[in-house]
Amino acid sequence: MTTTTTDTETTRADADAIRALIDNWILWRDAGDWDRFRTVFHPGARVLATWQQGSADDFIKASQEGWERGVSILHSHGGTTIEIAGDRAIAQTKMTIAQRADVEGVISDVVCTGRFFDFFDKRDGRWGMVLRQPIYERDRIDPVTPGAQLDLDPELLARFPEGYRHLAYLQSRLGYPVKTDMPGITGSRTDALYALGRDWLAGTVDTLDHWT
């Protein structure tokens, strides 16, 4: 007997595979499982985060080096929406980034909420991530010890966009060169990212290398 897979079943299987990549990105990255983390990406993939922009390989290397120095960054995520067009896809996933560090002599937690905007393609029957661009919507910073007084440099804080101002402050104090034009909840940079997603699905762009 021959069975036929319908388009709906195929799309559901593709969406499940993409969702697994999104889940595995967080679990394997935060667990320091670098070999499996690498399998989330296709060759040539890139990750653009506040503290590191470049190839996925460079991101993995920098994450591993930070891990070994005790840099504490954790991720969690919520709902995901996935759009698939043939062998290409995009996804947006609600996420939270939590980072703990010494800030101005006070151990503090930054919590930043936003979305992961991810680009995927299917090569030789396997889906892989080719670009991750977070969207940063809102953040806050709190001392870990109740009642501790945290005094921030207002001039440094004001250098960074509102959506990830405190996260950038903490990361800059750790010595990272933080990118200052990341997409936020609204704005021209965010509009351009949405447009790039539409172009990717439509097949009107062959590469994402121009997005920096």
Calpha distance 5→98 (Å, rounded): 42
Calpha distance 45→57 (Å, rounded): 8
Does residue 26 form part of some domain? yes
Does residue 207 form part of some domain? no
Residues 14-39 have pLDDT tens digits of 999 999 999 999 999 999 999 999 99
Number of domains in the chain: 1
Relative to beta strand 53-55, strand 106-123 is: unpaired
Does residue 208 form part of some domain? no
Rounded to 5 degrees, what angle do the CA atoms 211, 118, 160 make? 60
Exposed, middle or buried: residue 8 (CB in 10 Å: 0-12, 13-18, 19+)?
A: exposed
Does residue 46 form part of some domain? yes
Does residue 95 form part of some domain? yes
Residue 176: other Cβ atoms inside 10 A: 17
**Residues 34 and 60 sit within 8 Å (Cβ to Cβ):** yes
Does residue 206 form part of some domain? no
- For the segment 58-74, the average pLDDT, to the nearest whole number, is 94
Domain CATH number, residue 168: 3.10.450.50
pTM listed for this prediction = 0.93
Does residue 171 form part of some domain? yes
Structural domain range at position 15? 7-201
Does residue 83 form part of some domain? yes
Residues 158-182 have pLDDT tens digits of 999 999 999 999 999 999 999 999 9
Rounded to 5 degrees, what angle do the CA atoms 110, 187, 170 make? 20
